Amino acid sequence: MPPASNRSLNLLVIRLSSFGDVVLAEPVTRVLKTRYPGSQVTFAVCREYTGLPVLFSSVDKVLAYSKQRPEWCPDSGGRAYDIVIDLQANRHSRRITSGLKPLRVLRYRRPRLGRFFTVYLPRLWKGPQPHTIKTYFRTVEPLGIRYSEEVPQVIPDPRMVAEGRALVGQGPVVGICPGSSSEHKSWGDERFARLVGLLTGKHKALLVGSGEDRPAIERVLRSIPGCEAKVYVGENIGMIAALLALCRITVTNDSGLMHLAGAVGSRPVAIFGPTSPLLGFAPAAEGAVVLSLELGCSPCSFHGNKPCRLDRRYCMEGITPEHVASVVAGIMKDS
């Protein structure tokens, strides 16, 4: 990276959604703050995700965007934005930039062609795509910033960490996040329930998720009478981050909480089925483990939100709770 600049800029970073993509944008804000230390970094995000960028040490102000109010334009506080870094690059983010008229706009370019071949024409090309973080950094290359293996770093509120510790108690914790943005990306309630059963008694387990994950967590709990695992379900992203920070390992689907777990220092064990780490969405955290059978039919879509076209979900059924439990046990023993 070039040396820090003396210029004091008003910077706006736009990444409206979704949960995991917002987490993956954190390294860009941190490097911008290092490059322009006297600048103000503002982050525009969908209202339901505002709890994420407030945890970024490099973000000074968070602006909530509502898709129901497309005329929305953030208040610049009397100053025009010098540079807008649009990491969303869709009609919503373009509305924002057109309303602001900044001096300069740097816009994200998705690697659509490579992902298209990987998913729909694998016989012609099925190779790894650049990680999403790396593609974000390409957006700010005109500022002299280069990608250097940056990974998301999120620091939870110490008060919430203390509150979380009171919930889970002392000692190492294994986090389990059965929620996902689509039922087709979920490893399955019965398999998560079996995993909880295998872990409790040997390790302290914590089931954690947002309000949208409540049905999945409740189904898992119904399958385990007398479950001894601790549970947190809520909309407080700060508390979720604090609880995940207390987990030595977090078992997840390919989900936003997978990225958040890694960002707060937990070690993700991520289960991929209809999606693939080849598409550039693998957990970036050091020591992360991806469990994927990498079948010939996978990935079957960009985001894993389409029904399986086969008679069974072989990509998920082939990853057994016993195998996942052995991976967790191995990490716990070595750490």
Dihedral class, residue 89 (left if φ above 0, else alpha if ψ from -120 to 50, else beta):
left
Burial class (CB in 10 A: 0-12, 13-18, 19+), 18: middle
From CA 231, how far away is CA 238, in angstroms rounded?
A: 16
Per residue in 286-295, pLDDT (tens digit) is 999 999 998 9
The whole-number average pLDDT for the span 249-270 is 98
pLDDT category of residue 77 using cuts at 50, 70 and 90? very low
Domain ranges of the chain: 10-143, 160-334
How sure is the predictor about 133, in pLDDT bands with cuts at 50, 70 and 90? very high
Asked if pLDDT for residue 125 goes beyond 80, the answer is no
113 vs 16: which has the higher pLDDT: 16
Query: What is the distance between the alpha carbons of residues 308 and 317, in angstroms, rounded to a whole number?
Result: 12
Residue found by looking up tokens 């509502």 in the block: 66
Return mean pLDDT, the chain.
91
95-109, 222-236, 248-262: range with highest mean pLDDT: 248-262
Q: Check for a shared fold between 10-143 and 160-334.
A: yes
Q: pLDDT tens, 134-149?
A: 999 999 999 999 998 8
Domain 10-143, classified CATH 3.40.50.2000, yes or no: yes
pLDDT score of 73 more than 70: no
pLDDT at 178: 97
Q: What pLDDT is attached to residue 75? A: 53
Cβ(52)–Cβ(44) below 8 Å: no
Residue 155 has pLDDT above 50, yes or no: yes
Instruction: Name the CATH superfamily housing domain 160-334.
Output: Glycogen Phosphorylase B; (3.40.50.2000)
Encoded tokens for 213: 């994950």
From CA 5, how far away is CA 316, in angstroms rounded?
Answer: 49
pTM of the predicted protein model: 0.94
DSSP 49-92: GTTTGGG-TT-SEEEEE-TT-TT-----TTS--SEEEESS-SHH
Question: Does residue 301 have a cis bond before it (omega within 30 degrees)?
Answer: no
What average pLDDT does the segment 311-323 reach? 95
Q: Which long-range contacts (CB under 8 A, 24 or more apart) does 262-267 make?
A: 262/151, 262/152, 262/288, 263/23, 263/26, 263/151, 263/152, 263/153, 263/154, 264/154, 264/155, 264/156, 266/175, 267/331, 267/335
